[in-house]
A and B are shown apart, each in its own frame.
Chain A
Amino acid sequence: MTSTVRLQRESFDAAAEAARLTRGRNDIGALVTFTGICRGTEDGEPIASLTLEHYPGMAESEIERHVAEARERWPLLGVTVLHRYGRILPGEDIVLVVTASSHREAAFAAAEFLMDYLKTRAPFWKQVEKSGGQTWVDAKAADDAAAGRWIAPRHERETAE
């Protein structure tokens, strides 16, 4: 299985990354591509930019750990996770998750699982720049709830084993 985790300052080409997973093979029946994009407003106010700080080393290992967990949970044939850091302008891409599998259920579920974990467990922090200055983005309870829904099945599975 091909799996790629990359953190970078530069933007990325989502279509090229997706094509890289399927090139030269015919066992993949489903490819899910999720791109997170920087919105131009927050709470109705225009923003100038988003700056992402990360914990080098830990960010890569946390994402790799979750990619490994996704591979254990679903029959994946390929995974790519790219996450940008530094200053990002409205309309620019922030994060990319691509999952490939024989069937769509696994590809959709693994992509959602990875995104939910990136939001709550990967050591990245967003700072938003508005006309009034820079402020740190608060963690959202909804993101914690979204990540939490993956815990129950795993627990049940562990208990069953």
Chain B
Amino acid sequence: MSLKLRYFAWVRERIGKPEETIEIPPGIATVADLMTWLASRGEEYAHAFKNANVIRAAVDQKHVRPNAAIKNAHEIAFFPPMTGG
């Protein structure tokens, strides 16, 4: 499955790119699975996802919890807690 991933704020800085399209291996069913798999892709990813519990995710531009399924998703974003307003 091919997925567009987007990163914001310090997640983006640690990974070193704002977005990428990657091939997700079979068996990655949830957002939490995806974070664990991404963390294994290299030092920069390991650094970005070190405290996975503070990272928020959105599937197709909607906030989701880590147990959300990623089946049929087109775009998944990872970012720190929001500080707008």
Contact = CB atoms under 8 A, between A and B. Distances in A.
Contact of A119 (B9, B80, B83): B83
9 smallest CB-CB distances across A and B, nearest first, come from: A124-B84, A139-B81, A125-B9, A119-B85, A58-B61, A118-B85, A122-B84, A126-B83, A137-B83
Contacts of A139: 80-83
Interface of A: 36, 52-55, 57-59, 61-62, 83, 94-95, 115, 118-127, 136-140, 143
Given A57-B61, A58-B61, A123-B58, A36 B85 contact: yes
Interface residues of B, number: 16
A138 B61 CA distance: 22
B13 to A, nearest CB: 8
Contacts of B9: 53, 125, 127, 136
Nearest to A122: B84
Interface of B: 6, 8-10, 58, 61-63, 77, 79-85
A103 B58 CA distance: 37
Given A58-B58, A136-B80, A123 B85 contact: no
A122 B77 contact: no
Contacts of A118: 84-85
Contact of B85 (A58, A124, A127): A124
B26 to A, nearest CB: 28
27 contacts: A53-B8, A54-B84, A55-B6, A55-B8, A55-B77, A57-B61, A58-B77, A61-B61, A94-B85, A118-B85, A119-B83, A119-B85, A122-B82, A122-B84, A122-B85, A123-B58, A123-B82, A124-B82, A124-B83, A124-B84, A125-B9, A125-B82, A125-B84, A126-B83, A136-B10, A136-B83, A143-B85
